[in-house]
């Protein structure tokens, strides 16, 4: 059930860090009267070794530090809009008659349109 929740949350752009996943595991276990190791009770969190084993058992999951994502950015990235972008790019190439020497690779590293906020759960 925890793996399903983490996958569903990620699909809705609400990803959890490793720390949050461990805390959720602890809360899930205690709410369901599952016996947990003493260290879990002390830290109110599942252990790191537990997380490693959990991720091995649920290979569809990957735990990363969540990044800020705007709603408009995540909803605009869909099959129709991506196809439209490539159609427009093709038209520009045809109209401007660009050759391979006019194509440059760049990414958005170092550029941001979002302000980073502190995660209140960490």
Over 50: is that where the pLDDT of 122 sits? Answer: no
Give the integer Cα–Cα distance in Å for 67 and 33.
Answer: 33
Give the integer Cα–Cα distance in Å for 106 and 122.
Answer: 33
Helix and strand element counts for the chain (H, E):
6, 0
Over 60: is that where the pLDDT of 2 sits? Answer: yes
Return the structure tokens found at 71.
């709603």
Return the structure tokens found at 65.
């530090």
The residue among 118 and 55 whose pLDDT is bigger is 55
- The pLDDT tens digits for 37-83 are 999 999 999 999 999 999 999 988 877 665 666 667 667 778 888 88
For the chain, what are the domain ranges?
2-57, 71-102
The confidence score (pLDDT) of residue 22 equals: 93
Over 50: is that where the pLDDT of 120 sits? Answer: no
Contacts for 98 with CB less than 8 Å, ≥ 6 apart: 92
Give the integer Cα–Cα distance in Å for 20 and 12.
Answer: 16
């Amino acid at each position: 059930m925890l793996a399903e929740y983490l996958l569903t949350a990620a699909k809705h752009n609400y990803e959890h860090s490793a720390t949050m996943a461990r805390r959720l595991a602890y809360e899930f276990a205690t709410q369901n009267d599952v016996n947990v190791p003493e260290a879990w009770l002390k830290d109110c969190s599942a252990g790191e070794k537990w997380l490693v084993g959990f991720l091995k058992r649920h290979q569809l999951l990957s735990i990363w530090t969540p990044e800020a994502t705007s709603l408009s950015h995540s909803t605009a990235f869909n099959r129709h809009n991506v196809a439209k972008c490539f159609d427009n790019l093709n038209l520009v190439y045809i109209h401007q008659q660009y050759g391979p020497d006019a194509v440059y690779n760049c990414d958005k590293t170092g550029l941001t349109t979002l302000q980073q906020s502190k995660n209140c759960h960490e």
